[in-house]
Structure 1
Amino acid sequence: MAGSSTVVVFDEVAAGRLYNDYATPFRLVQPLIFPFTKSSPFHKSTSYCTVTEGIIEENGLSRPVVLKTFRGKDDTPRSKIAQRTYRETYAWVQLARSSIQCENINSFHGVLFIDSNIVKGVIDRTIPSIVIDYVKHHALEYTMSRGFTARLEIVRQLANGVSHMHSLDLVHGDLKPDNFRVTEEGVVKIFDLAPELITKDFGAVYMSVTKQTDVYALSMTALQVLDGRGEKSEPFNHLKHGWDVKMALEGSRWPELHRYRGVPPRAWDILSSCWADHSLRPSIDALLKELTAY
């Protein structure tokens, strides 16, 4: 094992300065007594971040975690990476500090200042990585092998997590199967807050991301989970290109029930109510109530 370092508490004041003045780095604060060790060479990269598995030592016990390190292409401004990091970390801090905790939100442990010995391609060592619990199962892989009742329970738990976020005036902004996972015990954990996640403080209207768009995104995610065929159940699965989906949405054409035979009519009615105009969509709490009563 290589690449040991120390997780630190997130300093909201310093991070706020970073958000407003990108020349100011995150400021190191009181260290947690949780040393981090990279557990394997595994890492997953996307166009905007790298996810790396590791372990933190907490009270003599090893706890599997992952690091989320925002990055960009060669021409991505440092300010953009700092902004993305701050937005997501700010949201994790609000969730961690809430007087009411929700089991369907993943555990946040702090931030970690790393270098290229831990994660290749680190652009700026003054911008930290986010440290959260490792959760084993991808949502679609977990639900494909289970019956409808179990799949419905996964959707209900996802709605419960989003309801908790909305109660704190946090909007997720990018709900999809890749952004939550399931534990061995069958507990949903919202795992990945959106890179453009915003809160009321950042102006949801300006970002065009609202609680209503979360409800819509959750319904489309639920459609894929409830149908139970993995990627084959993706919304608008009969359309081959993103442009076709865009045109369908602009024409108010929605997924068709006969293409999703794993979704009973009653469940379809609940989900399709979320495809109405913004002002007519149910709130997340109303949707959660319907799913719970199913």
Structure 2
Amino acid sequence: MNEDNTWNGTNFTSLMDELINHSLLDLPQPGGLYSIPPCLHAIITEALTEDRQFFCRVATHLLALSIDSTRDDYEELAFRRQISAHVNSVLIQGENISLDEAARFVLVYMVNGQLEEAETLQLEVVEFRKRMLGENHHLTLEGQERLDTIYSLQGKIGPDTHFDDEDSFTPLPYSQLLRRPRITQNRISVSLQRITANTPLNDIVKHFTLVAHLRDLTHELGPCLETRTSWGGLGDVYRTVMRDGTEIAIKTLRPSRSKSDNKITKYTAREIAAWSKLDHPNILEFLGLAVFQNQLVMVSPWMHCGNVVEFAKQRGVNRCSLCLQLSSAVAYMHSMRVVHGDIKGANTLVSEDGVVKLTDFGLTIVQEPDVYISITEKGGGTERWMAPELLLEDTAVRSEKADVYALGMTFLEVFTGLPPYSNVRRNCAVVAMIARGEKVQYPEDLSLYTRHSDRVWNILQQCWQWKPRERPTAEQIKATFYEIM
């Protein structure tokens, strides 16, 4: 529940996803049958006694999540737990199902030999993908290949298949399901969508606009007001206006020797997928995407006050308030099971009315992405802000605790106006210091910027604990700054 005692459906669904992934997939059920664990069923029925439709949506979503085609043993799971009986139950109820759920249900029918049911459902999946993504999209083609396989298993041919001898096959009887499921456009889930370096730009734009319902602002962009402003060394930002006069920033990723234009497009798509999921007062608003100078770009409001470090240098600025807002943004991301991966002052902007806006989601890790775009989760970030485990351990991945470490370094920037280890010129020397266990020294002028210098320094030291598990959560940091305020 929310603080005002209203129902939080987003957090509930996220919790259900986590429960089913950790408590159901690898545990045999009583009698070898698939079933929602009794405790989970009790939670749902207690919370949703007056909302049967939402209960059915959650139950269907959980059922689809348990059908994981990437696992080697999914066929065995399907047989052992008799998932098809539950799939039939969902479909016969006539509930709306998403495109992703339908595609997973087809797998169950196939491995259980229910080929007529698989054919009926897969036909709808393919037709929907043709309308939404186009006939040549790789997901449409994959869906057609699966449909052809289903036809072949039945000794049938599809409408697009040609044989020299028309009498070489005998069609089998075709029967419909008792009730055909309604796959609705506004329920389309894209958790199985894949974007690769070879996905055409037009297909990516179609995916984000037609499936993810993001805005394509290509035709709403006006002339550039500034040529470009550097953004983190990896991209450029152009200041321009929309046709209605709104000042906006256009962020592009810059090609390099090691990254082709196609890979840059993939990385941009990945950032769009992560950024567009976030909605918080202290996260820079994602307005939409566009094609600008033949490149996929991201559009956001223009921030006149620059980054938080420069803003904090102004007379009268409450630095603790800035830190509270930044920790609030990170706490929100972590509550959504999203890791930022590159928190620092340069990636934190400030609006005209003094509101902190966290940005730059190029290294963000989304635990349950709506679109799958492969990228490494190891390392990443900027050396002076990176947690020791990311710098020194080959297997370490970006995490919430690593975010907290970087958050502490960003607080240091806000109070001192200087980057971490500002007295050390070379980044390699900083890494060597961290490896030796040398810590950031107490800033002598910290007390000039806040009367709570001791409490602030204690927060920073907690963020920089060597062992990740000993660092506080972003929510705890937020609460501490709230007390200070």
What TM-score comes out, normalization by structure 2 length? 0.49
- 1:183 & 1:130 partners in 2: Cα distance? 18
Q: Is the 8 A contact 1:92 1:108 kept in 2?
A: yes
What is residue 7 of structure 1 aligned with on the other side?
none
Q: Is the 8 A contact 2:342 2:406 kept in 1?
A: yes
Q: Is the 8 A contact 1:171 1:199 kept in 2?
A: yes
Aligned-residue Cα RMSD (Å) equals 2.7
- 2:414 & 2:292 partners in 1: Cα distance? 36
Q: Shift of the alpha carbon at 1:177?
A: 0.9
Within-5 A mapping of 1:236-251: 236-251=421-436
Say whether residues 1:77 and 2:260 are aligned partners: yes
- 2:312 & 2:357 partners in 1: Cα distance? 14
Displacement over 3 Å in runs of 4+: 11-17, 27-34, 201-207, 258-263
Residues matched between the structures, number = 259
- 1:70 & 1:14 partners in 2: Cα distance? 25
What is residue 240 of structure 2 aligned with on the other side?
54
Higher relative contact order (CA 8 A, sep 6+): 1
Call closer, same or farther: CA 1:147–1:251 in 2, change over 3 Å: farther
Give secondary structure in 2 for the equivalent of 1:27: helix
What TM-score comes out, normalization by structure 1 length? 0.79
Q: Shift of the alpha carbon at 1:191?
A: 2.9
Call closer, same or farther: CA 1:133–1:241 in 2, change over 3 Å: same
Structure 1 window deviating more from structure 2 (154-163 vs 133-142): it is 133-142
Say whether residues 1:40 and 2:230 are aligned partners: no
What is residue 137 of structure 1 aligned with on the other side?
305
Give secondary structure in 1 for the equivalent of 2:277: helix
1:227-272 deviation digits (Å, cap 9, x = unpaired): 3xx2xx3211222221221111112211111445346122101111
Say whether residues 1:87 and 2:87 are aligned partners: no
What is residue 194 of structure 2 aligned with on the other side?
17
Give secondary structure in 1 for the equivalent of 2:225: strand
Higher strand share: 1
* Unmatched tracts of structure 1, length 5 or more: 1-10, 96-100, 116-124
* Unmatched tracts of structure 2, length 5 or more: 1-187, 369-373, 380-396
- Rg larger in structure: 2
What is residue 121 of structure 1 aligned with on the other side?
none
Give secondary structure in 1 for the equivalent of 2:205: coil
1:107-158 deviation digits (Å, cap 9, x = unpaired): 111110122xxxxxxxxx3x5100111111121221112347x011011101
Q: Shift of the alpha carbon at 1:38?
A: 2.7
Call closer, same or farther: CA 1:275–1:132 in 2, change over 3 Å: same
Higher helix share: 2
Give secondary structure in 2 for the equivalent of 1:257: coil
- 1:223 & 1:22 partners in 2: Cα distance? 42
Q: Is the 8 A contact 1:158 1:188 kept in 2?
A: yes
Q: Is the 8 A contact 1:198 1:204 kept in 2?
A: no
Within-5 A mapping of 1:103-182: 103-115=281-293, 125=294, 127-138=295-306, 139-147=308-316, 150-182=318-350
Give secondary structure in 2 for the equivalent of 1:42: coil
1:163-201 deviation digits (Å, cap 9, x = unpaired): 1111111111111111111112111111322x2222224
Call closer, same or farther: CA 1:12–1:73 in 2, change over 3 Å: farther
